[in-house]
Structure formats: C-alpha cells, structure tokens
C-alpha cells in the first residue's frame, strides 16, 4: 500500500537531488510492479538534458524533492503486463519526456500528448496517478511505464548515442517536420549545443541547405563535420547582413538572452523562426521584424509519442545519433558543472551499469 493506492512496489536504486543546493547522490525509491498495460525497463543508458539541471536545482521554481531526473531513457524490457500488445520481454525500448496524459482531449486524440489540455505527465517531477506521489526519472536502475508511452528502438543504432534522441532529437525533429523542411530550402540553426547539433544532422538529412549560427570560432570545424553547408559568426555584422531575407526556416536552440530580431530579419517573406531554447528572461521582439515580410515567430515543445517513434525510425533509416560523452553515474555532479560551461560535445549520457558500483 502506497499513499492509499493498492499497488505492489519494488525497491529501486537511483541518484536523486534532495534539495536545490545539494549534489545528486544515491537514493532508494519505490517503483510500482508492472500493471496489466505496463512494461518494466531495465535502464541501460540515460541522457543528461540541460532541463535535468534546471529542475534538480529548482531554477524553474517547481521542483518537489527528492527529485530523480532523467528523460532520455534507453533500456531492455524485463517484465510485461498481461495485456501488453506491442512489446515483449527482451525488447529494446525507450522512454522520453512523458509517461502519460489524459488521452481524451483534442490534443491527445491528435497524437500531440505534449500539449495535453490537462497537462502531460512528465517522466519525472510530475504527479504519479499510480502511486499518488511524483514520477521519478531515468537516473535509475529501472522504470515502469504504460506501453502507450514506450518507444521501439532501431537495432542498428548505437544505444548510448540514441538516448539523447528521446529529448534533443524530437525537440529539433518536430518543428523541422511540422514546417516541412526539405530539399531546395535554406535552413538556419542558431547555436551548436545539445539541441543545435541534432538540428544540423536532421535538417541535412531532410535535404536542406544548412547554415549554422554560432558565436564560438572553435565550433566552425565541428559544424561542418556535422553536416552544415555554411557557418556564420553571429557577432559579425557583415556575415549576418549577407544572409538578409534568405531563409525559409530558422531553428533557434539558444537558451540564453540574445537578439532575436537579428535572426527574424534573415527570414524570407513568409519564413518561420521557431524557438526551442528557453531563455530565462523574455526575448524582445520588434513587431516590425515580423510585419515587414509577413514573417512568423513560433515555439515548439518536444513531440507526441507517434511523432517521436517516427523520428526514431527516421534516425534509424539515416543512421543518425547524438555525439556523446559517456560517463558513470558517479560523475553526474561534475557533468552538471561542465554543462554550465558548455563543456561537452554535445551530450552527456550515463552508463547506468555504473549504478551497480554505488555502495
């Protein structure tokens, strides 16, 4: 019995934050045993998203402790419920940013669970309707999830490097797909970090002419290696001016304060700039940047389960994964500090086998 809910439970080892100022450390939680529609996944790898750091340190002011982060989960199914239809024991499986939604609102019916009108149930730090507590994420030895929110993983991809596709991959794929990016289009990617490097790979695979905008001269070579056709120093006014009114689509991945108007002016008539980075302060948009050229400024949030599976299948077909640095769980706090300095190319991934080494 857990908080009035009649469910069987099992002890699970994790790494958790106990407060906004304490480092992540070993912590035992209780997972539910798989119900009729659930699968239990033994976690092999978990990507480290910048939002993990934001939430662990309560920078978005909504964290409940203890908090077990992690929503880029790759693992192998060890148990299935009696009514599970699409997975079996031994299958590779993935879990991204969501583990449930209301499933009945207009957005859920349209396979856009990330916009659930009652609020999606996120993989961690969300109300858990099964236990009555909160959901716990992938910095953990296992996770139990309804099969409707579990994803099939292409067998040809490196598993560790596939983990970031569950957040960084779908966050960049969804707007590129929604705005029909493809051959004959000029597409800009602003920022070359965990999101930006995936945007480059995916936009190139869609057939676009890809231009990367960066303030870091040391990222020029990497941008070209990742598939960019051109690289622009966004601090160089002449280089920026050379691209005025020329982009069909720009994907902005920058989470810091920056001049959004400088990029809006690069759009062609009816072009679109989609923001996926989340700056802590509002961006100042000059309305004239939109009116003159009938330009569009939009936002995008991850993707629904159907689209996330589509993205994984696309990446499997094009052999696309993230550039990663694999770390043991014991290095997670050092990784957070390096993440603050953008000292990773381009995504940390935790080898969860290292959790067994924790005393």
Kindly state whether residues 172 and 159 are assigned to the same domain. no
In a domain, 314, yes or no: no
Longest dimension (CA), the chain: 66
> What confidence category does residue 356 fall into, taking pLDDT thresholds of 50, 70 and 90?
confident
In a domain, 99, yes or no: yes
pLDDT in the model for residue 253: 96
pLDDT in the model for residue 308: 98
* CATH code assigned at 215: 3.40.50.720
Residue 328 has pLDDT above 90, yes or no: yes
Question: In terms of pTM, does the model score above 0.75?
Answer: yes
pLDDT in the model for residue 353: 96
In a domain, 286, yes or no: yes
Domain count across the chain? 2
In a domain, 2, yes or no: no
pLDDT in the model for residue 7: 61
Nearest to 348 by CA among 278, 357, 328, 358: 328
Which neighbouring-strand residues pair with 190? 213, 252
Kindly state whether residues 199 and 156 are assigned to the same domain. no
Kindly state whether residues 162 and 172 are assigned to the same domain. no
In a domain, 308, yes or no: no
Kindly state whether residues 140 and 250 are assigned to the same domain. no
C-alpha gyration radius of the chain: 20
pLDDT per position as a tens digit, 229-241: 999 999 999 999 9
Residue-number span of the structural domain to which 275 is assigned: 168-299
In a domain, 220, yes or no: yes
Kindly state whether residues 151 and 174 are assigned to the same domain. no
Q: For residue 181, give every residue at least 6 positions away whose Cβ sits within 8 Å of its Cβ, in sequence order, or none.
A: 187, 203, 206, 208, 248, 249
Kindly state whether residues 136 and 262 are assigned to the same domain. no
In a domain, 311, yes or no: no
Kindly state whether residues 22 and 51 are assigned to the same domain. yes
Residue 358 has pLDDT above 70, yes or no: no
pLDDT in the model for residue 195: 96
pLDDT per position as a tens digit, 229-284: 999 999 999 999 999 999 999 999 998 899 999 999 999 999 999 999 988 788 99
Kindly state whether residues 163 and 113 are assigned to the same domain. yes
CA separation, residue 39 to residues 86, 90, 99, 172, 192 (Å): 10, 11, 12, 27, 36
Kindly state whether residues 142 and 205 are assigned to the same domain. no
Kindly state whether residues 240 and 350 are assigned to the same domain. no
As a whole number of angstroms, the distance between CA 38 and CA 287 comes to 48
Of the listed ranges 280-289, 293-302, 312-321, the least confidently predicted one is: 280-289
**Pair 98, 305: CB distance under 8 Å:** yes
pLDDT per position as a tens digit, 38-81: 999 999 999 999 999 999 999 888 999 999 999 999 999 999 99
pLDDT per position as a tens digit, 13-44: 999 999 999 999 999 999 999 999 999 999 99
Give me the count of residues in the chain: 359
pLDDT in the model for residue 131: 82
Helices 194-205 and 305-318: angle between axes, nearest 10 degrees: 70
* CATH code assigned at 117: 3.90.180.10
Kindly state whether residues 24 and 157 are assigned to the same domain. yes
In a domain, 149, yes or no: yes
């Amino acid at each position: 019995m857990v908080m009035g809910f009649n469910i069987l439970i099992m002890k699970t080892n994790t790494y958790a934050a106990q407060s906004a100022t304490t480092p992540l450390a070993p912590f035992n939680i209780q997972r539910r045993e798989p119900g009729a529609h659930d699968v239990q996944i033994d976690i092999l790898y978990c990507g480290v998203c910048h939002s993990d750091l934001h939430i662990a340190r309560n920078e978005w002011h909504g964290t409940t402790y203890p908090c077990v982060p992690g929503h880029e989960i790759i693992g192998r199914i060890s148990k299935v419920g009696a009514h599970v239809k699409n997975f079996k024991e031994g299958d590779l499986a993935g879990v991204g940013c969501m583990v449930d939604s209301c499933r009945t609102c207009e957005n859920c019916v349209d396979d856009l669970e990330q916009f659930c009108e009652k609020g999606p149930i996120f993989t961690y730090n969300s109300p858990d309707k099964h236990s009555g507590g909160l959901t716990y994420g992938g910095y953990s030895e296992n996770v139990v999830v309804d099969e409707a929110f579990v994803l099939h993983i292409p067998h040809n991809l490196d598993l560790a490097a596939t983990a970031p596709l569950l957040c960084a991959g779908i966050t960049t794929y969804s707007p590129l797909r929604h705005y029909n990016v493809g051959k004959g289009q000029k597409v800009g990617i602003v920022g070359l970090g965990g999101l930006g490097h995936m945007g480059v790979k995916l936009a190139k695979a869609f057939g676009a002419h890809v231009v990367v905008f960066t303030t870091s001269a040391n990222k020029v070579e990497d941008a070209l290696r990742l598939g960019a056709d051109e690289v622009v120093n966004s601090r160089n006014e002449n280089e920026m001016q050379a691209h005025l009114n020329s982009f069909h689509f720009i994907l902005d991945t920058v989470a810091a304060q920056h001049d959004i108007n400088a990029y809006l002016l690069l759009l062609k008539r009816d072009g679109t700039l989609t923001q996926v980075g989340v700056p802590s302060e509002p961006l100042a948009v000059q309305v004239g940047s939109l009116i003159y050229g009938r330009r569009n400024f939009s936002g995008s949030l991850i993707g629904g389960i159907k689209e996330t599976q589509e993205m994984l299948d696309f990446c499997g077909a094009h052999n696309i994964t993230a550039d990663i640095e694999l770390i043991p769980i014991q290095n997670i706090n050092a990784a957070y500090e390096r993440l603050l300095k953008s000292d990773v190319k381009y995504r940390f991934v935790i080898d969860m086998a290292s959790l067994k080494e924790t005393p």
